[in-house]
Structure 1
């Protein structure tokens, strides 16, 4: 989802912004979102830029929608009066924009455009910054001492990571820098703080409990031996986790590095004040791809964190974060790269989207999560991935089974496009087919594969039918090729009860924006589906089904309720697939249909049960 907020900055002599107008000195960071990811090769300037953002005493946020509206008004005014007077200048995105807008509002002609009530620029005074640098640890640090041939260890009270950061970067004193070296003291103080602070810590404990200890009640405690402490021995100070039902507590330093790394990140985020800005250098350090997913999903969806209205800036080398952004809203990505001109090095920033291949080239993308998870589910594209994930979650909720951890227990792999050279779709020579199938078999030796494919009604003696048959013949314990032969595409699996809820999203927005009209359309859709069953179109393109519904639902105020533009029109009498498969899959996933509804499709019921069993039967 593209943001409409832009951060205005002092004009830079070091950084440049690449956009449709070329490469210009940086004066603003466009389209900042709740999560902002800085990605690029080493020495591309991303971490340096992130630290520079923390030197701002105030943040000035420009509303892009209002900016466009105002400049459109100026353009329209200049067009109307043409050359009778000197034209009004459009607003420019820089820190002077507020002054220029105030001058503009004093022009009499401007009032008729109804833009005077706009809050074009919002000033955030003295924003609260938290910084989690690359130098971080969940361990207390100790020095080894030798006294009279006796070895002892002395806890380091000074945060040498923090001292190093201050020496190298001279950060602003008002930034809360958290390296984790004093995590013990932080927890000790937190548990003895006012109720508001302790409530934040309880939310953090719930997060740890839910994701690592099967929802058992836990207490994270900063323990110490009072007698030893009085003697000046602070080596007995440990962070421990007490788990309900277990006799012995677990020391944090005995936990896996991934859990410790995640605790460092999430502790400070949970403890942060509302409306704060969180800056993290390379959050992926020591995190398995599954842990990276958990981190990103938590900062996006955790209700306790959502209430805090936090904004994140993350510098990363992780292609896995990029993979995850394909599925998430509220994320902006900025690509960093350097360019040398006449011996001057320019650090260039480009606001981009998750589908920009240049990003992937910058960091050398490998589909790492596929090889690190216990097994992989191969699907033809992102919409299939979204459907299968939503169906799996619904199945687990209904059966009260634990939802397997994505990128740990299993990972999705999208094999369409260049990944497998369209091997299920394009014509290929015999030896090319054999090589691809051989490669899949080789992969399955180290990573169990469940490959899901549409048959597209391919006949057994057709080229595609022959390729699918060869694929099925390679079935083994580590490789399950699942060809859906009863339905043309995954959308054909959806039962009427699902279509009844989502067809309104394929309707004319000018009609559905009127509440009473929207209700009438929904009623007509419900009535139509009583006589039109999606299962009757199981082997036809989904456009055939949608066009039939469109004609039966009919027109309102002279307009067809369902947009014909939603699906491909081949001829006057035949129709193709959806034009925007991903949007429909996201709509269905967001509605969180119950398993009672989804399993009305027997194919969905059988397919998801097979996939779940494949994932869990290690």
Structure 2
């Protein structure tokens, strides 16, 4: 989905116990339905039941979130027209629901549109209502495993201390049948518990070409993320010898890795990898436009594995091209933290509603903003991933984090492509984690002009204490502080704290981390800060203007200046089109003095998404040295 939709309930009676925000009538639609939809709430908050009711919906009815705005603008235009044929009626969402959904009425063109006047706009509503029947739905419940399950018959021997046990593997998927019985889910819903993974792998290996291609994509995912890029082959093997002996381990899932002589049996892999295989297998194998309902994907997953799962479903090109939709219930605060970086995620908070004694339970649903700290209270936990990773990278905020991630990605891709002996694939939240210190004592220590000597000593001790249990790379801007000033002395004292576990790094060479960006980076991302209306008509011309301006103005000449000084020079060189400034005013300005960038996080996000070649980035000595230092620190912490 390119934008959020409202998800309309065709059978709203099934949701009569749920209320949206403070509304007095039961919910009839789920607002801002997105590609990834996360449901959070305490136990007994109704979220699992809600998910199962969504599973049972026969039709998927999606409505663009701007539908009423578009429709009512047509109404206003018509009512203000001297050629109007009577006044048309503006609609609220509840009215829209009654007329076009609940009553199953088609659009009454005579009442809601004047075709002669608005024939080009007549489809404004119908274009924005999508009804999908027969959508393929997959349900991955909490009741799942990659292990075979056994039953045992115990026979006592003559020696009462000895018992002879015979184990028989369960051929039936008892998890599946239990779920169907308990929740009355029909067979149109593909429920995957992992117990039939052997048959699934066997069938995929012998299926038509398009299915085999999906399976190969799944193998590639495992290869890149768990087996250092070595080619792997997943095989469903039937061991005839074991079968003849009457044993029950005749069906095996084997993983062949590169040129290794010994194959690995799936159940001998770590629980985390097995758990992720169950989650990702069906997603890679699913048909386009399928819907996935997943209960608590974080089960058996380390925070780094949770990140890997979310990044795959939100950014993996093959999966994105399949246009899949996810509805996920979770108790993981870490999973929620990760959504701060995503634009295609909606979060719904579930909580019990106060009802009179003896009445059925009722629940409140709120569509909350990404990063809303209130929802973490429902989970009762705080983010602690920084203490679970091998080391942590301390940065001032999200912008610094994005730059380091972008530089690291380019550097690691370069090492892998050139088969450099230093190359090692890294996983965020396993090999390293970011910690943003903005708002904490360390930020005041680094950036305030005045600080008591006593406070300085306390903060230094705290940093040293944390470094005992976690290896820390601490990055700080110098903000042009001279080493002889009070702030400069504090930063120098911070560098002097360095130990094997603590590596403070002050960026003395530039004013702020944004000043590291070289012209090749600006050339690729500056277009994101240009006038959108002009871009719609003059995009190629504007890109040429940016390229020409950067031939005259070099960012390297402004390393110690506020970034606004550089951008102001670029603004003047690019100039105007049709009397309108091409470059938006994205930097602070006060009486001709130009300051720092305003949309800092947006700039860093564009850099992260641009995917630069390391050959270009290493033209900056500062970027090259910083990236290599961070990479070496992470690698050393793994040994």
Question: What's 1:479 paired with?
Answer: 502
Distance 1:463 1:319, change over 3 A: farther
Matched, 1:314 2:328: yes
1:136 aligns with 2:144: yes
Q: Deviations over 1:191-217 (max 9, x none)?
A: 333333333222222222222122222
1:144–1:13 Cα change, 3 Å: same
Q: Deviations over 1:67-110 (max 9, x none)?
A: 320023234545679xx977614152536435566025654546
Cα distance change on mapping 1:392 and 1:489 into 2, 3 Å? same
Partner of 2:587: 567
Q: 1:608 is matched with which residue?
A: 627
Matches for 1:343-382 after TM superposition, within 5 Å = 343=357, 345-382=361-398
TM-score by length of 2: 0.89
Change (3 A) 1:218 1:529: closer
* Contact 1:2–1:332 (8 Å) recurs in 2: no
SS in structure 2 of the partner of residue 157 of structure 1: coil
User: Does the C-alpha gap of structure 1 residues 419 and 235 become closer, same or farther in structure 2, counting only changes over 3 Å?
Assistant: farther
Distance in 1 of aligned mates of 2:447 and 2:2: 32
- Residue in structure 2 matched with residue 416 of structure 1 by the alignment: 438
- After TM superposition, list the pairs within 5 Å mapping 1:14-163 onto structure 2: 14-18=17-21, 22=23, 24-77=25-78, 88-92=89-93, 94=97, 96-98=99-101, 102-104=107-109, 106-109=111-114, 112-113=117-118, 114-118=120-124, 119-147=127-155, 149=157, 150-163=164-177
Match of 1:435 in 2: 458
Note the C-alpha offset of 1:376: 0.8
- The answer to whether the 8 Å contact 1:70/1:115 transfers is no
Residue number in structure 1 paired with 2:470: 447
Give the 5 Å matches for 1:221-300.
Answer: 221-230=235-244, 232-300=246-314
C-alpha displacement of 1:377: 0.7
Q: Does 1:535 align with 2:522?
A: no
Deviation at 1:117, TM superposition (A): 2.4
| CA–CA distance in structure 2, aligned partners of residues 529 and 452 of structure 1 | 29
Q: 1: CA distance between counterparts of 2:256 and 2:68?
A: 54
Q: Which of 511, 519, 528 lines up with 1:505 in the alignment?
A: 528
CA shift, 1:180, in A, is 1.1
Q: What TM-score, normalized to structure 1?
A: 0.92
SS state at 1:162 partner: helix
1:524-552 CA-partner distances (Å, limit 9, x unpaired): 33333233221222122111111122123
Correspondence for 1:388 among 390, 404, 407: 404
Structure 1's unaligned 5+ residue stretches are none
Task: Work out which of the residue numbers 330, 342, 358 in structure 2 matches 1:328.
Answer: 342
Match of 1:521 among 517, 538, 542: 542
Aligned in 2, Cα 1:504/1:274: closer, same or farther, shift over 3 Å? Answer: closer
The 2-side partners of 1:131 and 1:283 are apart by 12
* Residue 3 (str. 1) matches residue 3 (str. 2): yes
CA 1:147–1:186: 2 relative to 1, 3 Å: farther
* Structure 2 unpaired stretches of 5+: 158-163, 417-422
Offset at residue 360 of structure 1 (A) = 2.1
Task: Report the secondary structure of 1:416's partner residue.
Answer: coil
Q: In the alignment, which residue of structure 1 is the partner of 2:597?
A: 578
Paired residues, what number? 611
Q: Larger deviation: 286-295 or 365-374?
A: 365-374
- Kept after mapping to 2: 8 A contact 1:7/1:61: yes
- Distance in 2 separating the partners of 1:384 and 1:435: 25
Partner secondary structure for residue 513 of structure 1 = helix
Farther off after superposition, 490-499 or 275-284 = 490-499
* Pair 1:77–1:434, CA change in 2 (3 A): farther
Shift of 1:120: 2.4
Q: Contact between 1:105 and 1:111, CA under 8 Å: does it hold in 2?
A: no
Q: How does 1:151-190 map to 2 (within 5 A)?
A: 151-190=165-204
Q: What is the CA-CA distance between 1:375 and the residue it aligns to?
A: 0.6
Contact 1:105–1:116 (Cα < 8 Å) also in 2? no
SS of the residue corresponding to residue 354 of structure 2 reads: strand
Q: CA deviation at 1:472?
A: 2.0
- Contact in 2 for aligned 1:14/1:347 (Cα 8 Å): yes
Report the RMSD for the aligned CA atoms in angstroms: 2.5
